[in-house]
Chain A
């Protein structure tokens, strides 16, 4: 095994560029997944089979099929339908949509975990449905689910390299490009592998601290 430090320093400028894109994907993707997930979770509570059944079927489908194929689908099929987006925005949307089907489960569990007495109190106080949700149920539910949502953000971080397959130059994309130009595979791949471990470990520490604050 021969390790070449000069290749590492040559790769570093590309690495920072890639890291920036990765974090961008992560931030926007999480925002989409948080919002869409809540929308799905609320739609699943509409007391009509005509709403819950299609939403349930679509989200189940998205959750159980590979993100990679979904990326290809959006990247190649949307232009056929006359909708052209950049690779980055397609990727961000795909990853957000995919993870929204997970966060939806988290929100559902959080809403179900709100004690039934809270619902009864809201009814007794004659609160309108909107106020019941925004002032009573959701604040309690969301607080409970933040750690679980954080876990999915970390999971999403580890799925961002898939966007390389639709030509987005994030960390892995830059590493591959660099490897092919310089014929040095070991260093860039090891550097980004280590970067993923470090970032997800730091994020998990942050999450644990957040969890402790929310519990007490």
Chain B
């Protein structure tokens, strides 16, 4: 491969990372807002948040991307820049998976903690901010780490819409060289390295946060079977 083609691949890596960061931030925001809304005391808020989750988890990420690229522009007169269209589609879809994680972790906090907050006459917002979230967030890190890897894999989908990410640059190089084994091996390896680095970072974060509340790191077989699925509809498996 010539250096010009490598430059193309590097550009693809850069687009993939930009898209990953933007959509991860959006997905995190969506998952916390929707996840906390699912524990709200008003049933209508809980219902709307649950409806959002079911709809966006129920549909395929790729169909969602097509929808944002082709249906939104004529329907509402918006034409989004590809990067933002991709961010919107991925953020909304993966945010719905993330909201399940947030809800699961919040409901896994010992009820006595919540009652303690009520007894001390904390407002609901104070309870959430000072008691529930500090204990729930460290528990969310391992499933969020899995979800982040899923999101990284999801960013490859925008290449179908012609956005110049890593998978797209792979296709261009294949067309240029008329030879596919080498370039696709490189592309897969690059994705694997990014995923590996992300896992390491998230594991470090988990250690730091769990150390803060005095909990052991790692998971057991029981947790593996009962963890909220990052890619499935149908609620918790237990």
Query: Which residues of A approach B to under 8 Å, CB–CB?
Result: 1, 61, 64-70, 72-73, 76-77, 80-81, 105-106, 108-110, 112-113, 144-145, 147-148, 150-152, 154-155, 157-162, 164-165, 172, 175-176, 179, 185-186, 189-190, 192-193, 196-198, 200-201, 203-205, 207-208, 211
Contact = CB atoms under 8 A, between A and B. Distances in A.
Given A72-B167, A80-B180, A196-B58, A65 B231 contact: no
Contacts of A112: 221
B74 interface: yes
Nearest to A156: B231
Given A69-B191, A186-B71, A207 B225 contact: no
Contact of B225 (A148, A161, A203): A148
A69 B180 contact: no
Given A68-B157, A147-B237, A150-B232, 12 more contacts: A1-B76, A69-B167, A69-B187, A72-B180, A77-B180, A105-B224, A109-B225, A152-B229, A154-B232, A155-B231, A162-B62, A200-B59
A144 B188 CA distance: 34
B235 interface: yes
Q: Is the interface of B mostly helix, strand, loop or mixed?
A: helix
B75 to A, nearest CB: 4
Contacts of B185: 73
Nearest to A61: B192
B66 interface: yes
Given A66-B153, A66-B156, A193-B63, A200 B58 contact: yes
B80 interface: no
Contacts of B179: 80
Nearest to B195: A64
A199 to B, nearest CB: 8
B67 interface: yes
A186 B74 contact: yes
A77 B71 contact: no
Contact of B237 (A61, A69, A211): A211
A65 to B, nearest CB: 5
A208 B229 CA distance: 14
A40 to B, nearest CB: 15
30 contacts: A61-B188, A64-B149, A64-B192, A64-B196, A65-B191, A68-B167, A69-B167, A73-B184, A77-B180, A77-B181, A80-B180, A80-B181, A105-B224, A148-B225, A154-B232, A158-B59, A158-B60, A159-B60, A172-B63, A172-B66, A179-B70, A185-B74, A186-B75, A189-B66, A189-B71, A190-B71, A197-B59, A201-B58, A208-B235, A211-B237
Q: Which among A65, A108, A176 has the highest number of chain B CB atoms within 10 Å?
A: A65
A77 B186 CA distance: 13
Contacts of B237: 147-148, 151, 211
Interface in B27-50: none
